[in-house]
A and B are shown apart, each in its own frame.
Chain A
Amino acid sequence: DVVMTQSPLSLPVTLGQPASISCRSSQSLVYSDGNTYLNWFQQRPGQSPRRLIYKVSNRDSGVPDRFSGSGSGTDFTLKISRVEAEDVGVYYCMQATHWPSWTFGQGTKVEIK
């Protein structure tokens, strides 16, 4: 299975300041069609995961533009340009390239300092 490794696992951030989460995969996530199927999910306390970013850098409908995704191959990053109180939660990266074994990162807990 492809192992997804996130860092940091805990991220205290000051309101209005930027935040960055790294995700690395043990194998390339480039699919046979040339696309890279790396997603980012947000899980707010007590809620189910919600997809924010798909195929590395595409924001889902309704996702604020302060969220952005980047990367290629095996190294990926989720950035929040200015953290707001509603961004508190756990963020997971996930790969779908190597289905049918979808794998997730360990999660990064974002909290307000």
Chain B
Amino acid sequence: EVQLVESGGGLVQPGGSLRLSCAASGFTFSSYSMNWVRQAPGKGLEWVSYISSSSSTIYYADSVKGRFTISRDNAENSLYLQMNDLRAEDTAVYYCVRLYGDPKDIDYWGQGTLVTVSS
């Protein structure tokens, strides 16, 4: 069974930093590209960042470019999102999402971790 378990969310002040983690199991993590997708409270879904299976290709949404860094450790079956210079508008549940195929399509989602940016 595919499992994606996010952690690391919490309350942080504007301008602060946070590192999210996603622990993957039930599939060969090193063979899959991954995304982070977020959902502001009561709002819709927004793609945040992409990383290929080997980390050779990375993309970011314009809203987080220059502030967020995606990475992964295939030996540890883990995905990360380093978030710096956080803003109130970054407040959201952050989901770890598995991709497959060509084009990269989404199938499985984690349960999400809540990031709240507030003073």
Contact = CB atoms under 8 A, between A and B. Distances in A.
Secondary structure of the A contact surface, majority rule: loop
Interface in A5-35: 31, 33
Interface residues of A, number: 24
Interface in B97-118: 102-112
Name the residue in A31, A54, A94, A99 with the highest tally of chain B Cβ atoms < 10 Å from its Cβ.
Answer: A99
A35 to B, nearest CB: 9
B80 interface: no
Given A48-B112, A102-B35, A37 B46 contact: no
Secondary structure of the B contact surface, majority rule: strand
Interface of A: 31, 33, 37, 39, 47-51, 54, 60, 92, 94, 96-97, 99-107
Given A101-B61, A102-B37, 7 more contacts: A37-B105, A39-B106, A47-B111, A48-B110, A97-B103, A99-B103, A107-B44
22 contacts: A33-B102, A48-B95, A48-B109, A49-B109, A51-B106, A51-B107, A51-B108, A94-B106, A96-B103, A96-B105, A96-B106, A97-B103, A99-B50, A99-B103, A101-B61, A102-B35, A102-B106, A103-B47, A104-B44, A104-B45, A105-B44, A107-B44
